[in-house]
Structure 1
Amino acid sequence: MSNRRTEALIFVVILLTGAVSVYVLQPLRSAPLVRDQADILNAEQEERIANYHQAILTTYDIDLRVVTSDSADDIDTLAVGIFEQDRVGENSSTARGLLFLISPEIDQVRMETSRTVEPVFTDIFTSYVEERQMVPFFQADRVADGILATTELIASRAEAALRNEAFIPPAKTFEPSSGAGASTRARIGTGYERPEGPQLALQQGYQPYQVVEAYISAMEDQNANPDLAIYSRASQTMFQDWVVTPAQMRNVAKTYQDCPPAVTRSQGGFAVVQYPVEVRTCSPFFLHREEGAWRLDFPTMSQTIRFNQSNQWFVARSLPENYKFAFAGQAFDQNGFPLSRPKR
């Protein structure tokens, strides 16, 4: 393919959350985005990861690779060699390269970075996302989900970096790794240990916005208790099987702490807490009254509200009848993203 712009490909990307989005994806210059030498991913998982990472390349110009290795060699040395062999960063017009290397043979995972992304994906950051985001999924033997969940944090970090112009000025050619990054134990299949927390007292007369505030506070406190009283019974059941990581909770808390004031719309036993649609990272919350109190309805939210690779929310299916009233004056584009202009 001679021209990256005119011969771009279109793929449907299915994210970890199940969201389906369409992106214009650039053709690759060098090795595949996913090489599963250790045979720990199935074909469908490889495709999901590759498609999502191609969307990251298109959106943030970051060449993000995944290699699983069956080698028993030192992972730091191996990562530097693979980075150069596969020319990680060559697919990026600015030589931004990032490698996820997973070695079940020696129970290690490493993130290796190019010089052009070091100021953004620092050693401290890469160590944090490995330990607090990737490894909990690996412990639950959900390697593909761990990779995708980590990529979501990479995307959030990249989005902020572009706004703040934090990336090093573009390099014109491929640059080998400088050895920056971090390694940790992979702990694949060792068993997920949920970071539990205390029960929250649901004060009588709590209004919907106060329940949402209690949820954001719980995330800030790293409270992953699936049976919190602010959750509906159906939400509590859903969360029993979810992998909840410290990094996810911190990211939720930070996102909503930065949101502008919300408004609450209620009808009968249902309510929606909504933020201005101009701030697309602040998605609405659905609540319904259960046993005399307002509680968060996460099953309905997870079926209705999805996010793209930039963490912007959209409606993935028809709005549920019980909550449709709150969006009566809201227009959406053909992909389900809310529009600032009112519906006519």
Structure 2
Amino acid sequence: MQRLGVRILLLMLVGVLLAGCKPATEQGIEDRVGLLTSVERQRVADFQHSLLQDYDIELKVVVLERTAADLDQKALQLFEEYGVGRQTHGARGLLLVIDPLGHQLRLEVGYDLEGLYPDGFVGYVENQQMAPFFQAGRVGAGIEATVELLIGRAAGVGAADGVDGGTPLTHLSGGGGARIDIELGSGAPVKEQLADSEPFAAADTPEKTLRRYLKVLQGHIKDPDLGLFTPSTREFFQNWLVTDAQQDNELRELQGVIDQGKTVVADGLAVLRFPIDKRRNSPYLLRRGEKGWMLDFAAMSRLIGFNHRNQWFFRSTGHEFMFAFADVQFDGNGFPHEKP
């Protein structure tokens, strides 16, 4: 029910963003049981290509045909057999091994990425991001959502910070990573409704509504019927999967820029936007109702897209919220720039 949840929907359109480019190959995916659809395979391949080109990280995805008695050992074995990380400038490989019959998965981490992706972080991503998607039977979307967090962490730390880029390639992994038990397709988590939702009602200013939304993220609240959402947003979130990891990620992003926000209001509409150089922080769109200002995530899902670096753009520039961007110039792909 939050913006990073919407981002996953938009990131599924990465093939559109890469229009005109040769599609990424699927050599980084080994799925003989057909767990992923052809469309999901191509989307995952696009993300793998982006990780390698932009962050020098090689991601391999393997779906096992037979269950592994010791998945930790199996992942380490496959890591070496496939040479995961040899396409990078060091041992910068990631291997996601999914064992459907054994109801388990493991994300193995190469030597040079252990500082960037320590075991605690990997376990958190598996439990709070992968597990909800996989349990809902949305394996492809779960991998995409996980890659988004991996990219976000890589972008936040930087290519050189906390990462050794020169490990000799005698062995590519020393067993870093984490394994979890998981039931594929066991069902999406239930969204609990709040007994008292008044603290999350529409507020009398857009800024107050966004501050209340911060509390939603902090509390991992997933009730889709909150008053600070527009009616169309409540309907949108009824069937949309939201994870704790997504909410945590958006919370960090929003807390870093909320005091830099600029609000523009016109005719019952409002846009709360951030400095143009904050490319990962897209604007929030709001509508005024009888009880106050409400966040319109349904409109955001239609109008705002994100590229593989999580940088926002408008999918069209002929919509009703453009009044708030008179001082911004948009290029042919909808990305914002300061006017000269």
TM-score for both structures, normalised by structure 2:
0.90
- Which of residues 106, 122, 131 in structure 2 aligns to 1:126? 122
Alpha carbons of 1:118 and 1:203: their partners in 2 closer, same or farther (altered >3 Å)? closer
Query: Aligned partners of 2:40, 2:111: CA distance in 1, in Å?
Result: 29
Classify the secondary structure of the residue corresponding to 1:105. coil
TM-score for both structures, normalised by structure 1:
0.89
Alignment of 1:282-301 (within 5 A): 282-301=281-300
Q: Given that residues 202 and 227 in structure 2 are in contact (C-alpha distance below 8 angstroms), is that contact kept between their aligned partners in structure 1? A: no
Alignment of 1:1-344 (within 5 A): 16-19=11-14, 20-22=16-18, 32-73=27-68, 74-162=70-158, 165-171=161-167, 173=169, 175-194=171-190, 196=192, 198=194, 199-201=197-199, 206-259=204-257, 260-320=259-319, 322-342=320-340
Alpha carbons of 1:124 and 1:328: their partners in 2 closer, same or farther (altered >3 Å)? same
Q: Which residue type is aligned with residue 276 of structure 1?
A: P
**1:162 deviation in Å?**
1.1
**More displaced, 256-265 or 121-130?**
256-265
Larger fraction in helix: 2
Q: What percent of counterpart residues are identical?
A: 34
Q: Which runs of 5+ in 1 are unaligned?
A: 1-13
**More displaced, 167-176 or 143-152?**
167-176
* Runs of 4+ more than 6 Å apart: 23-28
Query: Aligned partners of 1:58, 1:95: CA distance in 2, in Å?
Result: 15
Alpha carbons of 1:250 and 1:112: their partners in 2 closer, same or farther (altered >3 Å)? same
> Which structure has the higher relative contact order (CA within 8 Å, separation 6+)?
2
RMSD after superposition: 2.2
- In the other structure, the counterpart of 1:3 is none
- Cα offsets for 1:193-246 (capped at 9, x unmatched): 145363243567520111111112211111111111100000000000111000
Query: Aligned partners of 1:315, 1:150: CA distance in 2, in Å?
Result: 24
Q: Given that residues 38 and 103 in structure 1 are in contact (C-alpha distance below 8 angstroms), is that contact kept between their aligned partners in structure 2? A: no
Q: Which residue type is aligned with residue 178 of structure 2?
A: A
Q: Given that residues 303 and 317 in structure 1 are in contact (C-alpha distance below 8 angstroms), is that contact kept between their aligned partners in structure 2? A: no
Classify the secondary structure of the residue corresponding to 1:106. coil
**More displaced, 86-95 or 41-50?**
86-95
Larger fraction in strand: 1
Query: Aligned partners of 1:179, 1:231: CA distance in 2, in Å?
Result: 44
**More displaced, 217-226 or 104-113?**
217-226
